Amino acid sequence: MYHLAPPDGTEVFKFTDTGKLLTMKFSDQIIKNLGMLLLGLVIASCSDTDGPPQDLFGVAASGAAIKGSIYVVDADGSELNRLINTDGTFRFDVRKLTAPFMLKVVAENGVDPDLYSFAAEPNVVVNVTPLSNLAMYVVNGNADPVTLYSSWVSASATTADVDVKNAQAIVNANLRMQLMAYSISPYNYDFITARFAANGTSFDGLLDAISVDITAGVNVDVTGIGALVFDTGIDTTGYDIGGEAVATTGNYTIKFKVAVDGGVNSAETWLMINLPAPDLPVVGGTQLVEDLFVSLYGKTGSIVINSADVTGDAAETVVVLNADITTQDGVFNYVATYTFTQNP
């Protein structure tokens, strides 16, 4: 039989040769010491000297959710990384890091290019997509953002949130028609901080429909339309990324419906955007509507615009567009009615 006892000789445990516990007894001093120890552990567990969590979270997607790893580097050069969730979501606790932050996504397949993004502070959504990567390309003086990431300790001191938003405005202005076709207002949509899901709808639908390559300048290709000219010096007057909607007196919102081969009109759909008055279609000036139509339906096949008739006045303008779309199943006639209504 074996005994385990404290220095004062008070018996605590008694075991037989077989290891069976026969007796357990604590002295008052042992109980007091144990109580103090437990109290200290409780206090320590409840005290968080680092404060509450400070998160960066968002979606990494290029249409489909990206399978791979995501990294974040802070202004001091500290870096964290983790695997991206299967739905493209990720989350970092950056309470011990120093803002601003730059993020990098590395695809598991080793083929897709790395993508970059930016967060000025913690506790915000920060998405990493080909468009965030394009914005960081603009921020980096129209150069691959890989050099920005690798020099973030020094670059972070001269990279402000306003710089990134100005770069987003350039991206949005170049993709204005494509964003509008997916019911996204290009004038204020913040594609870095706006919540979205990698499910093929809305903004993710746009990501599915475009490809962006910055290996030799900027090459943007839209499914069914082809290459777009990307102008890094495009006019961004009236763009306020992350700001209030552009809607003010004299601006317009759009709704449309479509009939195919003389069939019943589709349900009326709102394009939740606010169109500046100078963009209102006029007789002989319907390029905006034609571009909207091609952006939405171009991926189904080649399109021939037959006509675009404008009626109405400044309060409400209606454009009826007639087009033929050639698909693998034949040629179909589309009649799309766009109604531009002046905001009160």
Reference 95, options 60, 123, 58; nearest CA is 123
Q: Structure tokens of 35?
A: 């109580």
Q: What is the structure's pLDDT at 242?
A: 87
**At which residue do the structure tokens 């746009």 appear?**
206
Q: How many CB atoms lie within 10 A of CB 126?
A: 25
| Lowest mean pLDDT segment, chosen from 29-43, 48-62, 81-95, 191-205 | 29-43
Over residues 159-179, mean pLDDT: 94
- Do residues 300 and 327 make contact, with C-beta atoms less than 8 angstroms apart? yes
CA-CA distance, 193 to 189, in Å (whole number)? 9
CA-CA distance, 344 to 338, in Å (whole number)? 19
| Lowest mean pLDDT segment, chosen from 7-11, 60-64, 101-105 | 7-11
CA-CA distance, 178 to 226, in Å (whole number)? 12
pTM of the model: 0.72
- Higher-confidence residue of 328 and 1: namely 328
Q: Structure tokens of 334?
A: 């589309």
Q: Domain map of the chain by residue range? A: 2-46, 55-228, 252-342
Q: What is the structure's pLDDT at 322?
A: 94
Helices (H) and strands (E) in the chain, counts: 8, 18
Q: At what angle do helices 161-174 and 130-139 cross, to 10 degrees?
A: 120
Q: What is the structure's pLDDT at 341?
A: 86
What are the two backbone dihedrals, phi and then psi, of residue 279, each rounded to the nearest 5 degrees?
A: -90, 0
Contacts of 275 (CB under 8 A, 6+ apart): 246, 251, 252, 253, 254, 340
At 320, the amino acid letter reads V
pLDDT over threshold 60, residue 163: yes
Q: Which run of H or E residues covers position 84?
A: none
pLDDT over threshold 70, residue 2: no
**At which residue do the structure tokens 């074996």 appear?**
2
pLDDT over threshold 80, residue 214: yes
pLDDT over threshold 90, residue 277: no
The partner residues of 106 in beta bridges, in order of sequence, read: 69
Q: Structure tokens of 188?
A: 């204020």
What does pLDDT average to over the chain?
A: 82
Q: What strands, in cross-sheet order, belong to the sheet with 13-15? A: 2-4, 13-15, 21-24
Fold type of domain 55-228: Immunoglobulin-like (2.60.40)
- Do residues 11 and 30 make contact, with C-beta atoms less than 8 angstroms apart? no
Q: What is the structure's pLDDT at 250?
A: 52
- Do residues 173 and 279 make contact, with C-beta atoms less than 8 angstroms apart? no
For the residues of 187-204, what is the DSSP string, one character each? TT--TTTS---SSSSHHH
Over residues 27-34, mean pLDDT: 49
CA-CA distance, 171 to 288, in Å (whole number)? 18
Q: Which run of H or E residues covers position 60?
A: none
pLDDT over threshold 50, residue 272: yes
Q: Counting Cβ atoms within 10 Å, is residue 172 exposed (0-12), middle (13-18) or buried (19+)?
A: buried
Q: What is the pLDDT of residues 198-209, one digit of tens each?
A: 998 889 999 999
Q: What is the structure's pLDDT at 335?
A: 92
